Structure 1
Amino acid sequence: MTTAARVDLATRIELEDFYYREAELLDERRWEEWLELFAPELEYFAPLLATRKSPASTVVEELGHFDDTKPSLCLRIRRLRTDVAWAEDPPSHTRRLITNLRATAAEDGGVTVRTNMLLYRSRGDMGAFDLIVGERRDLLRRAPDVDSGAGGWLITNRRIIIDQSSLATKNLGVLL
């Protein structure tokens, strides 16, 4: 990241607040409000990670844990609100930690943001939990209406690189 491409301090603070709010919406299962943070043309993808010898890339772009658009996320959320979302009935207890925000100005006036994410997820009363760790790479643009629920930004593209080749969790019934 070059110094010239970095965003100013006010924008960085605004972006941090945006991501903290996003984590809060997800942890509180306020999914419809969370969807407002995304642009209609959203691409939301989590490629697989493979263990390969150097110099081959460990990221498998042809396959993913999920490959969503805003309409498909809407369907996932509608399903979570039904009584047939067994992977999330009863709902998981989650806590998302978003750290190491790195933001650069994009040529189109938007920003490119990389964040590290840690998702803690527990289910039931037995003390078992899952940890999902990764990096999120987002492209954001200013929302046309700054007073929208998006806090002035809309995510147009999210790519999540999960740091595990084989997920230990039984399902990905939660949103990342």
Structure 2
Amino acid sequence: MKVPFDLYHEGVEFFLQEAELIDDRKFKEWLNVMTEDFTYRIPIRVTREKAAPSEFSQHSSLMNETKSTMEIRIMRTFSEYNWAEDPASRTRHFLTNFRARQDEQHENELHYKTNFLLYRGKFDSTSFQFLSGERHDSIRKEDGEWKLSKRLILLDHTTVPMSNLAIFI
């Protein structure tokens, strides 16, 4: 179902503010924009023949999280045992090509397909890393505020060009 422009714009603004929370490392605030039934998944991309139904594994994921497991990941981020992110990465999310549709069964839910480019810098190095792909996000209005209920990340990469995925996309 086509999304009215004002609703579409509210969703785009939500995602831009959400990306800013992640880039500013305000992860605890980021948890507050998630629904209780939030899911976050990054299936593994595999190279297959043209006739295959999907380029993504139905059985294996780089990440398969819920709000509860994201809370644990975020608590670990601020612990003294997070060696992968000490010092912390600098990230910048670039979001583009927002395509939206309204849920036909639930008027208070919007589904977006968005292209992304994620920049990651570490240490004082002149080298950097990029991830690119497509996100399939669902947001739901709860108590008058938009909340992220689902994120499916489809990476363009079959091999992740980073030593770890201790960051959020």
Question: What are the residue-to-residue correspondences of 1:86-105 with 2, within 5 Å?
Answer: 86-105=83-102
Matched position secondary structure for 2:15: helix
TM-score between both structures, scaled by the size of structure 1: 0.92
Aligned position for 1:142: 141
Aligned alpha-carbon RMSD (Å):
0.9
1:156 matches 2:149: yes
Matched position secondary structure for 1:32: helix
Shift of 1:114: 0.8
| Counterpart selection for 1:64 from 61, 65, 75 | 61
Task: Tell me the amino acid that sits aligned with residue 26 of structure 1.
Answer: I
| Counterpart selection for 2:20 from 13, 24, 35 | 24
Structure 1, residues 59-110: CA drift from partner, whole Å, max 9, x if none?
Answer: 1121001000000000000000011111100001111011111110102111
Percent identity over paired residues:
33
User: Counterparts of 2:150 and 2:124 in 1: how far apart (Å)?
Assistant: 36
Q: How many residues align?
A: 166
Matched position secondary structure for 2:163: coil
**Off by >3 Å, runs of 4+ in structure 1:** none
User: Counterparts of 1:140 and 1:55 in 2: how far apart (Å)?
Assistant: 33
Aligned position for 1:149: none
Matched position secondary structure for 2:8: helix
TM-score between both structures, scaled by the size of structure 2: 0.95
